Structure 1
Amino acid sequence: MSIFSDNLRYLRVKHNLTQQKVADALKISRERYAKYEATTDPPLDCLQKISRFYFVSIDLLLSFDIRRVPYEDLLQLEENRILLPITVDSNGENRIEIIPEKARAGYLAGYSDPEFIEALQHISLPFLRNGKYRAFPVSGDSMPPHKEGSFVVGEYIERLRDVVDGKTYIIVTKTNGIAYKRLVRKGKNLFVAKSDNTVYEPYEVKASEVLEIWRYACSIATKEFEQDDLGVMSVKDLLQGIREDFSALRTEFGQRKR
């Protein structure tokens, strides 16, 4: 038996359905459906119908034994109607998974794997509700005052159109992996990812490259902020002071010239 046929039988029994009822929903004969629970693989159009009928992604149906993760705990998205490995507890409260630095490289391969997500450590924060949150490690010094070793907690967003220009996001892409950046929209299907540390050049991100996007919710610092740390706001204040001084000098020079 294949993983797919096992999943198909499990889902049918889980929902207390007969083979005939599922076949009727798929608009095929019961005999044809029975073969899918045995050894025959369905054609693509029928596979899509099965995926939509059970609200389970085709990838999960074909590649993962969904009996290994509590089926009811997977979060259902509204628009594309698939189940992702984003879990909540028995009370419906968020389980905030923590992506440790050592798991950072494997996240691209494991972000859609329920077993990978289930194995992560998790925390709960009582002030973060009504959303799905995940904690990602900060790498480098491109987004001060967040230091390397700290964590940024992001809220999962389903639609790229919900991205607000100038706000910060954890963005997971096929080419750059996990990055925490300030995003600015550039056209319909393109974003510019900017670092608050201006030493780093901004770069473009195609919408087609985006795997996940998480809106900044809060951060967890693991190192004490030091007085010598020059944060972004300090830089802005310094530049503003320079502008004001320059403006005052220019005004004074103009008055003297008169």
Structure 2
Amino acid sequence: MSLFSDNIRALRVRNKISQEKLAEQLQITRGRYVKYEDGTSEAPYDILKRMALYFHISIDLLLSVDVRKINIEDLIKLENNRLLLPIQIDSSGENIIEVVTQKVKAGYLSGYADPEYIESLQQISLPFLGSGKHRGFPVEGDSMPPHEEGSIIVGRYVENLGEVQDGKTYILITKNHGMVYKRLNKNKKNTLVLESDNSFYPHFEVKFSEILEIWEYQCNIGRTDTKQPLTEMESLKGILLELKREVLEIKGQRVQ
């Protein structure tokens, strides 16, 4: 039997429903359903979708994760039953912050929905962050100063794309661009514009359908204390303040 076959049988038994009743809910015959459960036939996409909706679990988990090893109630349910987000809690019932280090980053795209992968990540606790599900992600490159390569960005999970606010920074997990940290703008229908704070890097667009996860920036964990260079506006402000000081000094000398 396949993992999928084991999963649908386990979910059916867990829900205390007969093969005949489940087949009825899926709008197929019992004979057809039995072939999926015993592994002699593969379910087409429309049937997979109906099963996912019925059991309130994502298709990717049905096909790739042994649901007998996890508690479905410990997964965050997303809008439209799109997928389930694995989470972990400590002995007090508080969410644990998993950290996706540079070493394991490559595996996140295939493991983000796998509870066993999430369980293997390093963990930290930051009580000051408050409510919400948080996770840490590594910074790459110099496109988003002052965050430097090697730092960790901690983000709060965004359940609904409607929560995304123009001008704020987010970590995105995408099908085509992988893991990116950018400033977002929703100036096109069904599309996000991703911008780097370092103007050297051009902005680009990502369709909503390409997005797997979005995490809103909450804090940065880094090791550097390097002083950041002044921006053009800050430099200009400094020059004007210096001129103002000199003018005041000249006026003071004339009064004397």
Q: Same fold (TM over 0.5)?
A: yes
Aligned-partner Cα distance in 1 for 2:49–2:175: 25
Q: How far apart in 2 are the matches of 1:141 and 1:111? A: 25
Aligned-residue RMSD, C-alpha: 2.9
Matches for 1:91-102 after TM superposition, within 5 Å: 92-102=93-103
**Cα distance, 1:209–1:121 mapped onto 2, change above 3 Å:** same
Instruction: Name the aligned partner's letter for residue 155 of structure 1.
Output: R
Secondary structure, counterpart of 1:154 in structure 2: strand
Q: Where in structure 1 are there 5+ consecutive unaligned residues?
A: 248-258
The residue that corresponds to 1:230 in the other structure is 228
> What is the DSSP-based 3-state SS (H/G/I as helix, E as strand, rest coil) of the residue aligned with 2:188?
coil
Other-structure match for 1:24: 24
Distance in 1, Cα, partners of 2:44 & 2:153:
43
Cα distance in 2 for partners of 1:83, 1:147 equals: 31
Q: Indicate how the Cα distance of structure 1 residues 243 and 181 shifts in structure 2: closer, same or farther if over 3 A, else same.
A: farther
Q: Residue in 2 aligned with 1:138?
A: 139
One-letter amino acid matched to 2:3? I
- TM-score w.r.t. structure 1 length? 0.80
* Deviation of 1:31 (Å): 3.8
Give the direction of change, closer, same or farther, for the CA distance of 1:3–1:72 in structure 2 (3 Å limit): same
Deviation at 1:214, TM superposition (A): 1.0
Note the C-alpha offset of 1:86: 3.6
Report the alpha carbon displacement of residue 6 of structure 1 after superposing the two structures with TM: 0.4
String of CA shifts for 1:51-109, please: whole Å, max 9, x gaps: 10001112221233222333332221133353233444575421211000112223223
CA distance in 2, matches of 1:172, 1:131: 18
1:44 and 2:42 are equivalent in the alignment: no
Which moved further from structure 2: 207-216 or 84-93? 84-93
| Contact 2:143–2:201 under 8 Å retained in 1 | no
Taking the aligned partners of 2:161 and 2:128, their CA distance within structure 1 comes to 25
Matched to 1:143, the amino acid is: M
- Provide the residue aligned with 1:176 in structure 2: 177
The offset of 1:217, in angstroms, is 1.4
Q: Aligned in 2, Cα 1:94/1:26: closer, same or farther, shift over 3 Å?
A: same
**Native 8 Å contact 1:192 1:202 kept in 2:** no
Equivalence for 2:251: none
Q: Tell me the residue number matched to 1:156.
A: 157
Q: In structure 2, what is the Cα distance between the partners aligned to 1:33 and 1:155? A: 40
Where 1:79 maps in the other structure, the secondary structure is helix
Q: Distance in 1 between matches of 2:216 and 2:36?
A: 40
Contact kept, 8 Å, 1:73 with 1:89, in 2: the verdict is no
Q: Which amino acid aligns with 1:168?
A: T
* Offset at residue 128 of structure 1 (A): 2.9
Structure 2 match to 1:115: 116
Q: Deviations over 1:13-63 (max 9, x none)?
A: 222223233233223343433332213333432222111000111222123
Structure 2 counterpart of 1:115, which letter? E
The answer as to whether partners of 2:194 and 2:206 remain within 8 angstroms in 1 is: no
The one-letter code sitting in structure 2 at the alignment partner of 1:97 is: E
C-alpha distance in 1 between matches for 2:91 and 2:55: 21
Describe the superposition over 1:108-151 as per-residue Cα deviations: whole angstroms up to 9, x where unpaired.
23223333222111223223343221100122233232222221
Q: Does 1:124 align with 2:125?
A: yes
1:250: which partner in 2?
A: none
Q: Who is 1:12 aligned against?
A: 12
Cα 1:17–1:182, aligned 2, differ >3 Å: closer, same or farther?
Answer: same
**Alignment identity in percent?**
52
Contact 1:69 1:118 in 2 (8 A): no
